[in-house]
Amino acid sequence: MLELKDIKVKINETNIIKGVNLNVKQGELHALIGPNGSGKSSLANAIVGREQYETTGSVKLNDLELLELDVTERAKEGVFMSFQSPPSIPGITNYKLLSQFSKQYEKYLEDIERLKLQSGWAQRDFNDGASGGEKKKNEILQLLHINPKLVILDELDTGLDVDALKIVKELINEHKNKFGWIVISHNSSVLRSLNPTHVHILKDGKITNTGSVELLNNIDEQGFSDVGK
Ligand SMILES: Nc1ncnc2c1ncn2[C@@H]1O[C@H](COP(=O)(O)OP(=O)(O)OP(=O)(O)O)[C@@H](O)[C@H]1O
Ligand SMILES: [Mg+2]
């Protein structure tokens, strides 16, 4: 479904991603882990098409070349990303924004309750004044209603308390087969609990190791610098 070929990303003349190949099929969950600053968020941003990321190579979603499309067009084709630091948009409510994609208001209210967000959440301005954890829950809430093809979660677990994390993990597992997933996290136990089909280590802009969930155990024991040596 998603096919990355020799992706290179430059930001302000600096090479950040230095040749990444990756294939993600529907129902697969690819865990992406690696040291701070190794390029995980940059790779995700390049796939969704954020402007300042100068990207070469090929990013195909069901044979459609995404690099020729802008960020909005890619989203319309079914690329969804939850941000490491989600933005706020004062002046537009959570539901107003979501209703551009989905009119299932009753289901929206149910999901708000399931995620234990406040009852007035739908009518609050988008992420305005929201806590870090509430913003992360809002990302999942959108995901449940947008129905994309490819889901990229960048550090979704950061800022979520244990109860929230449990609900989010359940929701991801329930919807796992519907989408293709790239999940970025520093927390190997969170990644393990999502039963990833593939695990990749990104170091200095390159995927240095690909394996099964076993690879996460090796990282826990040896750290990033020794894995794969
Ligand atoms: N817009 C930008 N301008 C300048 N440098 C950038 C920009 N975006 C990313 N970088 C640099 O690219 C490198 C990779 O950053 P990136 O955010 O992709 O890392 P990461 O693997 O997601 O790290 P973390 O685990 O801390 O989230 C860093 O050195 C960062 O400073
Ligand atoms: Mg990051």
Q: To the nearest whole percent, how much of the chain has pLDDT over 70? A: 99
- Domain hosting residue 72, numbered range: 2-84+137-226
**What is the residue with the minimal CA distance to atom 3 of ligand 1?**
11
**What is the residue with the minimal CA distance to atom 13 of ligand 1?**
37
pLDDT at 227 over 90: no
Strand order in the sheet with 64-65: 14-24, 2-11, 54-61, 64-65
**What is the residue with the minimal CA distance to atom 16 of ligand 1?**
39
* Res 228: pLDDT: 56
**CB of residue 72 inside a 6 A radius of ligand 1:** no
Ligand nearest the Cα of residue 33 is 1
**CB of residue 16 inside a 6 A radius of ligand 1:** yes
Decide if 112 is inside a domain. no
Q: Which residue from 7, 14, 16 has its CB within 8 A of the most atoms of ligand 1, so it is best to mutate?
A: 16
* Res 226: pLDDT: 75
Domain of 32, CATH number, reads 3.40.50.300
Q: What is the pLDDT of residues 22-64, one digit of tens each?
A: 999 999 999 999 999 999 999 999 999 998 899 999 999 999 9
Contact 21, 190 (CB under 8 A): no
* Res 161: pLDDT: 93
Q: Please provide residue 27's backbone torsions phi and psi, each rounded to the nearest 5 degrees.
A: 90, -10
Contact 182, 150 (CB under 8 A): yes
Distance 51 CA to ligand 1 centre (A): 15
Decide if 80 is inside a domain. yes
- The token duo for 102 is 């989905």
Which residue, 118, 127, 120, is CA-closest to 97?
127
Decide if 96 is inside a domain. no
* Res 229: pLDDT: 53
Decide if 154 is inside a domain. yes
Decide if 109 is inside a domain. no
Decide if 89 is inside a domain. no
pLDDT band per the 50, 70, 90 thresholds, residue 155: very high
Ligand nearest the Cα of residue 18 is 1
The count of domains in the chain is 1
Decide if 10 is inside a domain. yes
**CB of residue 41 inside a 6 A radius of ligand 1:** yes
